Amino acid sequence: MSINVVYFARYREALGRDGEALEGAFATLEQVRQALLARGGKYEVLAEQNLMCARNQDLCKLDEPLVEGDEVAFFPPVTGG
């Protein structure tokens, strides 16, 4: 399965990239996140409890199922005042 992963805000800054294509057997966004976390180092930023995510530009939870060609986005929570 091929998916496109996009990073926003401070995740993009910490990882030094806007996104990447991933190949693998990913049933959910959580499996994608765990694969990225397994890289260690700077990818540990994705271990945050309050991480937000989207599938094909729709907000979702980490248990969201994935299919071939999906776009997955990770971003920190947005606060307003």
Report whether pLDDT(6) > 60: yes
pLDDT band at 80 (very low <50, low <70, confident <90, very high): low
Decide: 10 and 22 in contact? Cβ < 8 Å: no
H or E stretch including 26?
none
Q: Return d(Cα 58, Cα 38) in angstroms, integer.
A: 25
* Other beta carbons less than 10 A from residue 51's beta carbon: 16
Report whether pLDDT(67) > 90: yes
Place domain 2-66 in its CATH homologous superfamily: Beta-grasp domain (3.10.20.30)
Task: Output the pTM of the full model.
Answer: 0.92
Beta strand 2-7 with 71-75 is: parallel
The four Cα atoms 18, 5, 40, 26 give a dihedral, to 10 degrees, of -170
Rounded average pLDDT over 19-39: 97
